[in-house]
Chain A
Amino acid sequence: MAQYTCLIVEDSPMMRQLIIFALGRIRNLKVVEADDGVDGLKKLAGGRFDLVITDINMPIMDGLKLVKRIRTDAVHKDVPIMIITTEGAAEDRQRALQLGANEYVTKPIQAPQVISKVKELLKIQ
């Protein structure tokens, strides 16, 4: 059975907890948490990840910068990235997707929607 590892980069512990709660319904998915973009990059350097879920508005390094950095990273340049953000404007979505994000979900999240998109990105039936 395949084991997937997902990195959640989110400054709100409450939101992280909620996302982890939702992802708990996907079998064989291990979750690693990071507080911001810089912490996320550190965690990425320390392992191999199958998916990155990130917020946009975070201190130190925001989610869009993180997406840019991941897309130039030798190891993780192809890892799927899902953005979960409060920014609901069409131009924000377009910018994130142009930078290399694969999915863009706005808050407040609905667990079934997040689960379905994560499964899609991980190609889980």
Chain B
Amino acid sequence: MKRRSTDEDTFDFGARSEEFLETFFRKGAEFTEQLLQEAQKMRERIQELSEENVQLRSQLASDDAVKDLLAKIQALEEEKLKIRRSVDNAKREFQSYEDRYLEMEQELDQMANLYVASSQLHATMEAPQVLSVIEQMLMQFVGAGSVGIFLRGYSDDKTPYLRPVHAFHCEEICGTTIEWNVGPLGEAAANGVQFIMEPEKAVDESLPVACIPVMFGGDAIGVIAIYSLLEQKKKFVNVDYELFRLLAEHAASAIIGSGLYARTESVAAALDCFNSL
């Protein structure tokens, strides 16, 4: 085997090492370049990630804020419901107070009417005035258009009947007599029960719409009849029935008292009669 000369060997080695170094440095430069590029990419990615992170953090924070706000809204909604419920309760309570107030006002009006009627009924002992007060009471307070007052009389055979003693806007009743227990007037007297008809249902104008027996000691001493109502009065209301009851219970004593008083000459004579009892 033939061996190469040393010069040739040296030459080859120098060239190869140079080539190696060149390659080495070129590759090193390339690698470095790649590393730098990679590092740049990494930096950019880090930058992106940190930006993303900031965004996520802020989103998370805003999510929390939204959660807080939702919770607050929920709480406020509940509070609103509570307030609405208490307002509704207060409204209901107010309405019930208002209704009660109206009821009280109506009751007060009724009491006032009854008080005035009763005081006026017993304010006089003059018979014509007592009858006039009854007539006025029915006209002014009830709205009666025509009123007749009948008292009990007896025929020769002791049969009771009704005879008119006062007529207001129904003068046609004067001089007539009503048989006991016949017709609404006679029946009201015989039974001591009020006869009251709804005005709009009245068909026969000659018949009364209300007959109020005037009671004394369990018996009727007469009957008060309402034949018609004022144009504006369409129906009877509660206070009217109360007034009818008052008349049924109190008119008799006023009428009988005025009749007895008429027999005496003066208040002093009437007092003497009382004192002699």
Contact = CB atoms under 8 A, between A and B. Distances in A.
Given A14-B133, A15-B140, A107-B140, A86 B116 contact: no
B109 A14 contact: no
A108 to B, nearest CB: 4
Interface in B98-134: 105, 108-109, 112-113, 115-117, 119-120, 133
B231 interface: yes
A96 to B, nearest CB: 14
B119 A17 contact: yes
B141 interface: yes
A22 B120 contact: no
A12 interface: yes
Contacts of B230: 86, 88, 106-107
A12 B141 contact: no
A107 B133 contact: no
Interface in A63-117: 86, 88-89, 106-108, 110-112
B220 interface: no
B136 A18 contact: no
B232 A88 contact: yes
Interface residues of A, number: 17
Contacts of A15: 136, 140
A14 B233 contact: no
Nearest to B140: A15
Interface of B: 105, 108-109, 112-113, 115-117, 119-120, 133, 136-137, 139-143, 230-233
B247 to A, nearest CB: 13
Nearest to B106: A112
Contacts of A111: 105, 108-109, 112
A89 B145 CA distance: 13
Given A14-B141, A88-B230, A108-B141, 10 more contacts: A14-B116, A17-B120, A18-B116, A18-B140, A18-B141, A86-B140, A86-B230, A106-B230, A107-B140, A108-B142
A46 B115 CA distance: 32
B249 to A, nearest CB: 18
15 contacts: A12-B136, A12-B140, A14-B117, A14-B141, A17-B116, A17-B120, A18-B140, A21-B115, A21-B116, A22-B112, A86-B139, A86-B140, A108-B143, A108-B233, A110-B109
A112 B169 CA distance: 30
Contacts of B120: 13-14, 17
Nearest to A10: B140
Chain B interface secondary structure, helix, strand, loop or mixed?
Answer: helix
A88 B232 CA distance: 6
Contacts of B117: 14
Contacts of B119: 17
A36 to B, nearest CB: 15
For the complex of A and B, the 10 pairs showing the least CB-CB separation, nearest first, are A88-B232, A88-B231, A108-B143, A21-B112, A106-B232, A14-B120, A111-B109, A17-B116, A15-B140, A18-B116
Contacts of B133: 14
A108 B140 contact: yes
Contacts of B112: 18, 21-22, 111
Contacts of B142: 108
Contacts of B233: 88, 108
A111 B116 CA distance: 13
B131 to A, nearest CB: 14
A20 B215 CA distance: 31
A18 to B, nearest CB: 5
Nearest to B108: A111
A88 B231 CA distance: 6
In this complex, which of A88, A107, A108 has the most chain B Cβ atoms within 10 angstroms of its Cβ?
A108
A110 B106 CA distance: 9
